[in-house]
Structure 1
Amino acid sequence: MDVITTHVNADFDCLGAMVAAKKLYPDALMVFPGSQEKSIRDFFLKTTGYMPALTRLKDIDLSRISRLILVDCRHSSRIGRLAEVLKRPDVEVHIYDHHPESAGDISRSGGEIRECGSTTAILAKILMERGIGVNPVEATTMMLGIYEDTGNLTFPSTTTDDYAAASWLLSNGANLNVVSEFVSQELTAEQVSLLNDLLQSLQTVSVNGVDISIAHASLDYYVGDIAVLAHMLRDMENLEALFIVVGMGERVYIVARSRIPEVDVGAILREIGGGGHATAASATVRDQTVIQVMGRLQQLFPDRINPKRTASDLMSSPVKTLSAGTTIAEARELLTRYNVNSMPVMDERMMIGIISLRIVEKALYHGLGSLRVDEYMHTEFMRAEPDTPLNVIQNYIVGQHRRLVPVFSGQELVGVITRTDLLRYMYAGPQGGSEAVYDLGRETPPVRRREVVHLMNKHLSRRVVDILRDLGRVGDELELPVYAIGGFARDLLLGGKNDDIDISVEGDGILFAETFANRHGCRIKSHAKFGTAVIVFPDKAKIDVASTRLEYYETPGALPTVERSSLKMDLYRRDFTVNTLAVRLNPQNFGLLIDYFGACRDLKDKTIRVLHNLSFVEDPTRVFRAVRFEQRLNFQIARHTENLIRNAVKMGFLDKLGGRRLLNELIIILREREPVRAILRMESLGLLRFIHPDLVLDSENIRILDEVKKVVTWFELLYQQDNVETWVVYFLALTSLVSDDSFWETCTRLSVSEHYRERLIDMRVHGEQVLKVMEQKAARENTVRRSDIFFWLRSLSLEVLLYIMAKTRREDVRKFISLYVTQLRGVSCSVTGDDLKSMGLPPGPRYREVLDVVLKARLNGEVSTHADELLLARQELARK
């Protein structure tokens, strides 16, 4: 007798696979070895026409079974009483399964085991290959199995075989309405309550540098389909690895899901009698409490979650060092400049010791600042290699109270690992700050890494993706790590478009740019002093390339001094955490997102946060960038960051900011889509007084700024070809209520060039005068001729026209300006100076007078043809 069976607590994949196996073994009996999930029971109750021919286990004489066909299972502990059959050597066992191999698997004599999203798909492929058809009822039941185990064909474990099987079943009449009804059922009241309990108990811990999320609950009653809740919880909280532990009566149910290779949930749950895939697994435990099961899991985590990190994974490189002849006083200046607590001491290329900030400070206290560091350095230190396991380094740092471990390749110093680096790696949780950079003394979580290739393919054009891949290939050729960084990576995660691609290279960025340009027919502009280059494509598209570097500031507000450094330190010099993401482009790790400083967390929380407390002291322009990013992204400046901004304002650090740098930041803000909100935010932070002390917003300023937004939007909708500097319009509106002298002082403070400064003041004064004349004329007269409007406005730039259009409170004046911009601005007469010359008029100012008379007549509709204009010109010449 042949028997087809599966595991206890069977799901739709079990049912679909059993139905498929019945087509291969038509004389076999289908038997459930135990209970089924609630979704299966509901399916049988609501769709009696889909009930397969099942035999009850108690009606089976186990001694008569000669062949056992197992689907979606291969472990004896999960098939109930049928495990007794396996003890007989004469029983043939065929197994069809998609779970990975584990200890205790049943030996088989037939069947097929391979990686796939569902067992049903494995059997469906066999049916297809053998030409065995299925009817619509069978196809629908099998489709249920595929859809459930692949999450509607969306889980990472889904394969092409699952898609092919689903297509084949659909062609054989599978009813997707039925599939949708039972795979995507609404949650019951009990499930909603349990989900809430799980959310309340959810916590995340860091194990070997990997975030593991655990939720638990205890119930006095049974709730089915808790795997559905695991998927919902994982997606709601965007968790990488999740274990939910639920006690129901005498049993504890565990469901686990993983999105990352470091966590094989199947391997972990097999240790407690369960099983599954690396990405999805479950287990049922008897006679233990929820607390005991959670304790067992936490015992398993350290050994089973092991990225096998070595020194090369954590070390910072290149290393900042001191020469043996450096004085104690010089050492303090260097340690402070690079914001580190310890540095290796070198005798030419040989490391001979380590000097710490603590020793330096004590030596200075005792008046020893002029002595050399090699007089007081530590000369005993561990010599790690790149492949030294981190647990060895941990034992050294913790056991011997050391601050820094140098890493050598042969005799060459290639990196360092600090105590702070190690502690962050070992213990930091997901709610911390950001990753330490060569011992920066910050409370930070370990670096977060995940793949974003799917986002690149979704949001970027095929050409851009191809270029990024080409950049990575050139990096491999030169053995250089290559990254796309900054705003490009940030906007990729936010789902926005950013065509400004910034590339960082750990090595010679100019060599990299030159090599890429030669390969792809581009040209480059390089700046050797800063290690930067711009790749210019034949279609004028550009990519900025830079060597990874660090910056330090000699004085607050000064321009930074630049030195070559690692990616980590390069990102640390940036303004805000949300701009510190990097995407690896080298082929082996293409699309790997690197997040040292919690940028993903801040993007999720919509927060603008600085990396360190002296950020606004070193570069006060970041204050304005904070406002810009806050408004552009619709984020919120973090409370501590806002406090640092207010402190920088109070301490007057922005007074030291160069006018040109301030002007650049202001122009960028005024070119944003929502500059008014940014201006209001600057006002609330006390920033406008650094542009000019008299610059204070009142209700009239705000009204004009709001009107500018409407006017600029109106002009853009005209789709005219004119280029308008909208920042000038907003700048004129922002300063509209200050005196002419104060306006001049504002331009001087902002280092506006003398020529452009004079042009701005002339534009402003002339525009105000014209506006006054128009408003007076409109108030006195009911009608205004088109020619008057033209001659009032023709000498004004578009920027001033839009400004006075926004400033006026008179709707009729606004209509005059609108008429000029849309209709009158392009009007001209057909009579030319050559025509007047042929009439005998000698060159001189009379030419302009006559032509204006003709133009005035055309504007007012008094002439319409060239002949009419010539006649009028002759009459005007004769009259005078």
Structure 2
Amino acid sequence: MPETNEPNTDGLTVITTHINADFDGISSVLAAHKLYPGSVVVLPNAGEKKNLKNFFISSLLYLFNMKRISDITEKKVSRVVLVDTRDLSRLGEMAPIIQDQAPEIHIFDHHPDQAGDLAGELEVIRPVGATATILVTLIQEKGISLSKEEATIICLGIYEDTGSFTYASTTPEDFQATAYLVSMGANLDIVSSLIAKELDPAQVSLINDMLHRSERRMINGVEVTLVSLSLEEYIPDLATLVQKMMRMENLGVLFVLAGMGNRIHVVARSRLPEVDCGAILTELGGGGHPFAASTVVRNMPLAQVEEKLGALLSSLVKPIRTARHLMSSPAITIAPLLPLSEASRLLTRYNINALVVTDFHDESETLRGYITRQVIERALSHNLGNYPVQEFMSSTVAVGNPDTDFNTLVDKIIGNKQRLLPILETGRLVGVVTRTDLLNLLVYSKEHARPAGDEVSLEPHYPKQKPIISLMRERLSQEILDLLKKIGEVADSMGFGVYVVGGFVRDLLLRRKNDDVDIVIEGEGITFAKAFAEMMGARINTYSKFGTSVIIFPDGFKVDVATARMEYYTAPAALPEVETSSIKLDLYRRDFTINTLAIRLSPEGFGTLTDFFNAQRDIKEKRIRILHNLSFVEDPTRVFRAIKFEQRFGFTIGKVTREMIKNAIHLDVFRELGGLRVFNEFRQILEEENPIPAILRIFDLGLMKIIHPGIEKHNDLIDQLDEAKKVLAWHDLMYTDEPIERWVIYFLTLLSQCDREISEEVAKRLMLAPKHKKLITGDRFHARNAYTWLTYSLPATNSDLHRKLSPLRAELLLYIMAVSANEEIKKAISHYMSQLRHISLSIMGRDLKEMGLKPGPLYSRILEETLAAKLDGTLDDRDDELAFAARYLQE
């Protein structure tokens, strides 16, 4: 990012914001003024906000280098800094200056991208609650001091645009920025007095009128509240009243149109992702966020504005409450002649409560009915498990199509008392909508609140979706972004849905670097991977059993591609069986909620984050949660991954998830777990930057016995692990180009008090590769012998150190340093590794041959003695080495 605080000597640097600026706009102007010393501030058309003008301009004028538009029209403007807007039409009289003089533009904004936005040489655009938050972060990074008054003003902007931290757009960064401002002396009493005003009698009366004039409309299945008013005089705090009405009535979407003179003021608020207030009011000449926006329409009758707004709502409110978006696909079916016992097995395998019954004839599928878990369980209780499903199924069944709207879905399911509704398209079964799907949508739409309790039973349901393209542009390299777009275009051309999923998305939201790109294809993943690899000139490895591929680009970069699939387990700790599925069920098979996020890559909706399982909430609350209570029974290795993620991210394992870990240990589900799978998970933990907290967590949970009960948490272990971390840090500092297996040092340290027999058992249990087995059952004991020698032989000559330590690989030497409490031993090994290890001779066997010595065992002896002399400092160069060898040979 270019330096913002470089003085501009070629002309004026002008800081400005949108017309009729709110607190965030004015606060951001002041914050930007701190980042650009010598700049001037121009507020276009701020007269209508008399309260802001009085507070900021009249009372605190000394804080701004304020100019009028007329003061700068004749001067050269070489740089314009825009805050809280990118819309040229909202810059008032500043717009012609930008168009005529074409200055360098710097932009700081938190609004989502809109068509026609200005582009800048510097753009800092982040999806936070207030633009002031972005600028405070930069001020803090640059170490710029703020006075108490400045901190208070900037704080005011954050409080207003986050609704005192109650709006859905509020982010952790807003809290952090405010905390910093408070530390700089921001006066919250002043902020409170300006933000949280009591309503006067006129405002109370106006809110009463708004409530009586409100009209609720269903637009594309979304309930929108509209209020239309004609007022005799200007109301300066209409947005405040709109927000209060939202809270009083617990509304999802509210648009208020207020005629004031020859102007119609429109204020909008939304809690639903289906309704983007900013996008809608942009069409009326205004703008804002998806959750809050406003505009002023001039010289148009109120009725005409209302009609135009209605048309915009009809076209821009996302009609996602249809069967197409709610249904689970593919539907789980059973043939009518199969026994009830098989139906019961399918219900358990897929964790569902009803099955669609279909017949296949000549490659076509015919809907026959459905059967529920309650019917099946009652039949089994009467020992009827061998009877065919058709004897007990419901054959009269209402159906829908993918475009069936939400209200019709409710009528069909509730009215017909069906557990599920089959969805047919051109006579073909494409999915089902269940009562659970409807309930999840109703809860999400009406309450907008997290479910009660620490953990919930998670089934795939209506997802939370939001665009995060701005975050992707901010955090991803242009190469990665272009690659994701290309993947989306190619998959779309093949008729496939495509998403980037898992850890890549999780770390993007956590603002952590992660270039491990995992792609899920709704279609044929291998077919897509082959086509894409050929197009990009890349290699490909495929794994047909799991429907996965790895695309390997010429520069070595890899992309993993998988077919959307679901997994079920035939026994605890067994490897899963795999079936083709949808993105919804593909995400449901994953280990923890934080790994269930997906970003759509198709051109339509590129950059849309999809969250079925409240993963964003868990990331925000720093919690690790499983998706269902049998998760650890089905795959016990997830316990190790829970610990790894908990420690890596500084999260906490959720209460119910902790109980399920204890339950898995109690049930001893690890007994059938293959040693290689245990080793792979444990090795990943040891490869973490700091694995010590995770290791101690494993001990505390009683999981180390899974590796071997002989590995104990002895008194010195924590100190030894800390020493291992220190010696690794020392090695990284001294030998940055020398690769070592870091996990080995921690593993050897854990085994430091285990004898050879236990070490053999550990190697067998974990199914270690021969080289690693040799390391812990053989080489480690050679290192122990070297340690014993060092204990009794120091101080020692350089040649003796070299002779004793050179057979040991670097990991073993670092291991000795970690477990030794003797500083002399550590210094000796450090001396060997830094000073002696790489000393070598200039002479070779052919030099001895030229002396007339026939090849034989004596060669090695002479070269060893010569090297020893060189190590002990008696030889300086090649001539010395030759002379020494000649003397030794003569002797």
What is the TM-score when the length of structure 2 is the normalising length? 0.72
Residue matched to 1:669: 685
Residue matched to 1:332: 344
Q: CA deviation at 1:354?
A: 0.8
Structure 2 CA distance for aligned equivalents of residues 303 and 398 of structure 1: 30
The 10-residue stretch of structure 1 (618-627 or 370-379) with the greater mean CA deviation from structure 2: 370-379
1:36 matched to 2:36? The reply is no
Is the 8 Å Cα contact of residues 325 and 372 (structure 1) preserved in structure 2? yes
1:860 matched to 2:876? The reply is no
Structure 2 CA distance for aligned equivalents of residues 486 and 212 of structure 1: 35
Q: CA deviation at 1:326?
A: 1.3
Q: CA deviation at 1:40?
A: 4.0
Residue matched to 1:219: none
Which residue of 586, 604, 618 maps to 1:588? 604
Q: CA deviation at 1:752?
A: 1.2
Structure 1 CA distance for aligned equivalents of residues 46 and 806 of structure 2: 89
Alignment RMSD, CA only? 4.4
1:790 matched to 2:806? The reply is no
Is the 8 Å Cα contact of residues 153 and 162 (structure 1) preserved in structure 2? no
Residue matched to 1:391: 407
Structure 1 CA distance for aligned equivalents of residues 712 and 253 of structure 2: 53
Which residue of 874, 877, 880 maps to 2:889? 877
Query: Aligned letter for 1:37?
Result: N
| Distance verdict in 2 for CA 1:461–1:775, change over 3 Å | same
Unaligned runs of 5+ in 2: 1-18, 26-44, 70-84, 124-145, 157-186, 199-217, 226-234, 257-264, 297-312
Q: CA deviation at 1:472?
A: 0.3
Is the 8 Å Cα contact of residues 549 and 562 (structure 2) preserved in structure 1? yes
Structure 2 CA distance for aligned equivalents of residues 33 and 872 of structure 1: 95
Query: Aligned letter for 2:399?
Result: R
| Distance verdict in 2 for CA 1:611–1:161, change over 3 Å | closer
Q: CA deviation at 1:368?
A: 0.9
Structure 2 CA distance for aligned equivalents of residues 807 and 230 of structure 1: 67
Matches within 5 A, 1:747-762: 747-754=763-770, 756-762=772-778
Query: Aligned letter for 1:36?
Result: K
Is the 8 Å Cα contact of residues 609 and 637 (structure 1) preserved in structure 2? yes
Matches within 5 A, 1:746-825: 746-754=762-770, 756-778=772-794, 783-825=795-837
Secondary structure, aligned partner of 2:604: helix
Residue matched to 1:171: none
1:426 matched to 2:431? The reply is no
| Distance verdict in 2 for CA 1:210–1:832, change over 3 Å | farther
Is the 8 Å Cα contact of residues 112 and 289 (structure 2) preserved in structure 1? no
Structure 2 CA distance for aligned equivalents of residues 673 and 391 of structure 1: 52
Residue matched to 2:863: 851
| Distance verdict in 2 for CA 1:159–1:326, change over 3 Å | closer
Residue matched to 2:626: 610
Residue matched to 1:567: 583
1:713 matched to 2:740? The reply is no
| Distance verdict in 2 for CA 1:261–1:695, change over 3 Å | closer
Residue matched to 2:715: 699
Residue matched to 1:548: 564
Secondary structure, aligned partner of 1:379: coil
Residue matched to 2:309: none
Residue matched to 1:155: 111
Residue matched to 2:91: 121
Query: Aligned letter for 1:311?
Result: A
Matches within 5 A, 1:218-237: none
1:834 matched to 2:846? The reply is yes
1:362 matched to 2:374? The reply is no
Which residue of 318, 339, 351 maps to 2:330? 318
Structure 2 CA distance for aligned equivalents of residues 811 and 229 of structure 1: 71
Secondary structure, aligned partner of 2:50: coil
1:406 matched to 2:422? The reply is yes
Structure 1 CA distance for aligned equivalents of residues 762 and 647 of structure 2: 24
Structure 2 CA distance for aligned equivalents of residues 159 and 685 of structure 1: 54
Residue matched to 2:192: 192
1:679 matched to 2:649? The reply is no
Is the 8 Å Cα contact of residues 262 and 306 (structure 1) preserved in structure 2? yes
Write out per-residue CA displacement over residues 224-266 of structure 1, whole angstroms, 9 at most, x where no aligned residue.
97969999xx9xxxx9989899xxxxxxx99754587623559
Q: CA deviation at 1:871?
A: 2.5
Which residue of 464, 484, 501 maps to 2:500? 484
Is the 8 Å Cα contact of residues 354 and 420 (structure 2) preserved in structure 1? yes
Sequence identity (%): 40
Residue matched to 2:215: none
| Distance verdict in 2 for CA 1:211–1:193, change over 3 Å | farther
| Distance verdict in 2 for CA 1:872–1:657, change over 3 Å | same
Write out per-residue CA displacement over residues 412-463 of structure 1, whole angstroms, 9 at most, x where no aligned residue.
10111111111111124444469xxxxx964787411111111211111111
Q: CA deviation at 1:400?
A: 2.5
Structure 1 CA distance for aligned equivalents of residues 46 and 645 of structure 2: 59
Q: CA deviation at 1:536?
A: 0.9
Larger Rg: 1
Is the 8 Å Cα contact of residues 43 and 182 (structure 1) preserved in structure 2? no
Q: CA deviation at 1:189?
A: 2.1
Is the 8 Å Cα contact of residues 323 and 346 (structure 1) preserved in structure 2? yes
Structure 1 CA distance for aligned equivalents of residues 403 and 589 of structure 2: 28
Is the 8 Å Cα contact of residues 310 and 387 (structure 1) preserved in structure 2? yes
Is the 8 Å Cα contact of residues 575 and 622 (structure 1) preserved in structure 2? yes
| Aligned positions, number | 709
Is the 8 Å Cα contact of residues 698 and 704 (structure 2) preserved in structure 1? yes
Structure 2 CA distance for aligned equivalents of residues 181 and 741 of structure 1: 66
Unaligned runs of 5+ in 1: 1-9, 17-30, 54-114, 134-145, 168-176, 199-206, 214-222, 246-252, 270-274, 285-300, 435-439
Residue matched to 1:538: 554
Residue matched to 1:87: none
| Distance verdict in 2 for CA 1:157–1:491, change over 3 Å | closer
Secondary structure, aligned partner of 1:737: coil
Structure 1 CA distance for aligned equivalents of residues 314 and 90 of structure 2: 34
Which residue of 403, 407, 417 maps to 2:433? 417
Structure 2 CA distance for aligned equivalents of residues 735 and 588 of structure 1: 55
Structure 2 CA distance for aligned equivalents of residues 714 and 127 of structure 1: 58
Is the 8 Å Cα contact of residues 241 and 256 (structure 1) preserved in structure 2? no
Structure 2 CA distance for aligned equivalents of residues 623 and 867 of structure 1: 63
Is the 8 Å Cα contact of residues 352 and 379 (structure 1) preserved in structure 2? yes
Matches within 5 A, 1:243-392: 257-258=269-270, 262-263=274-275, 279=290, 280-281=292-293, 307-348=319-360, 349-392=365-408
What is the TM-score when the length of structure 1 is the normalising length? 0.73
Secondary structure, aligned partner of 1:589: coil
Structure 2 CA distance for aligned equivalents of residues 667 and 481 of structure 1: 35
| Distance verdict in 2 for CA 1:254–1:754, change over 3 Å | same
Is the 8 Å Cα contact of residues 11 and 36 (structure 1) preserved in structure 2? no
Query: Aligned letter for 2:366?
Result: M
Query: Aligned letter for 2:505?
Result: A
Write out per-residue CA displacement over residues 182-214 of structure 1, whole angstroms, 9 at most, x where no aligned residue.
98475762642686899xxxxxxxx9999999x
